Chains A and B, each alone.
Chain A
Amino acid sequence: MTRYITRRIAYSLLSLFLLSLTIFLFVRVTGDPTTLLVEPGASQADIDAMRERFGLDQPIWVQYASFMHSLVRGDLGQSFYYRTPVLELYLSRLPNSLLLALAAMAFSLLIGIPSGILAAVRVGRFWDRAGKIFSLLGLSLPSFWIGLVLILFFSVYLEWLPSSGAGTVWHLLMPAFALGWYFAAAHMRLTRSSMLEVLGSDYIKLARLKGLPESLVIAKHAFKNALIPVLTLAGINLVIMINVAVVVETVFAWPGIGRLLYEGITFRDFPVVQAVVLLGGSMIVVVNLLIDILYAVIDPRIRLEA
């Protein structure tokens, strides 16, 4: 168990190292990094000063060492536009992103799990087919388009909901729907296949044989076990939601990390863009590690295999 966890942690550290190296190299290899790290329109003196400050005249491994040194201390640079440390900006936007992601997750599970169960119980029949169409639509409709159509209906025509901004529950509804839609389809698919697998197992047959009513078999015996992979996926998806919300947040002017990234692009604020990618990737590596460890704790087969 300890060996397994140590190995997983080592792998994750390696991933984080490669992640930082990838980002670092992309910035250096694709051209003169000073043009990215210096504010647009800076004078030659400023550029030279910046080159010296970042040690861009040094050998590349020295540059990487100093890059890592600042990263470890939590120094992700200064935003050109806001004139504040990037990490501070990121953390100030994180709660909004988390709120949006949680609302979208609640919506996606509320739709995805019941419809997935229904499709599995009625496999091959009407509800299963309807579910298939729904999941296909969910996976094919781009979130920004859903967002724009929602605004058109609920803000422009019906005037029920505010089209942008944050603050009240009403502001949250449309972005959460637009963001959660895709994930609802993904959760539905997984619930269905996981339910089908569980419903075919021996202990379900036994539960039926001993005469339990079907509703109890499904609700008590099958559902609980089928839920494990779905909740695992949901855990990963929550982090992914925070990181893919950029389009939805732009459509609804939701002040989260995605919107920060969008501002980073429009104001050519490179430190912000770099930080959002680095922190997003790190977040996913860490969550994957946590889930692996949790699985090892719950399921002895996994830790013995390693």
Chain B
Amino acid sequence: MTLADDALLVQGVTTRAGSFELGPIDLDVASGRVLSILGPSGAGKTMLLETIAGFRAAVAGSIRLFGRELGQLPPESRAVGFVFQDAALFPHLSVRKNVGFALRARGERSHERVDELLGRFAITHLAERSPRSLSGGERQRVALARALAARPELLLLDEPLSALDRPTRDDLRTVLQELLCGLGIPAIHVTHDRDEALEIGDQVAVVVAGQVRQMASSDEIVAKPEDDTCARLLGWSELGVGSLDRDILVLGDLAVPTSDSLDRWNGPVSVFYRPEAVLLGADAVGSRGPTHFRATVDRVLPTTPLARVTLGGRPALTVLLLPRDLGRLGLRAGITVDVELPPDSLRVFRPTGA
């Protein structure tokens, strides 16, 4: 990606709040693309958005939006839309007036624009209602409509779905995806929810303790997390501490060749696996490779959408699979089954601090 393609270019941005320091952060987002920032609470994700929006001053670095330097501009001059976690609707104004707030602030009176946005987010019937009377999902639709009314050149979304119940969240996630696809402006979406980040973001950046740990496309970041923290955030489970000796990983009774060479690191390593990639029973019988072993089923939990099977032995592991496979493979507590860990479902990392 060349410089000219980057609608948003964040370089070396550093912000402080008390003893917490965020950055230096480097990011770039092209027009029509969405960057999802994934991280645990307290990582500085919201602080980064607040800095880009101008609610918080950066102590260093530059933020360029379509070539304009935003650093010294007040929030109202940045053309950056912000959708807050709790929607932050103006409680004393009706839905219509909330959506029309930006137009009114500029002295425009465009009923058509407000009507169009109300229609687009399917909230026309709520136009005269007070925000206090709306459900969480309705509030976020109003917040999106309100942010777009200002015709922003960048949209920032701070955990817009995290306060919603599951069906509403799934619903709004689709709305959000379609919206962001068609907007033609860059967007940054912050979340602590892995699925949300992967579903909405074209690119995902993992932010931990004020630093970007890894930034890559959704597919790549899930397949190849670069450290144990990223792996955990992206759904990898820890298998235990093994040892690496010239590309041979030893963990419990397993000794497998690994492609994760870790720059010729020899010694203890943290081993992670993808719990949904493990094959069990009849599915694992075909293979007799080094990652094949037999283990006893400790527990079978028929949770949805994926059921959970815990296996005893060395190493102990939890496997996720479709509930219908429980019956097909005849899995139940107490039986001994074949287990296959596909090589690309294993990752090894140097222990934290090494």
Please determine whether chains A and B interact with each other in the same assembly.
Answer: no
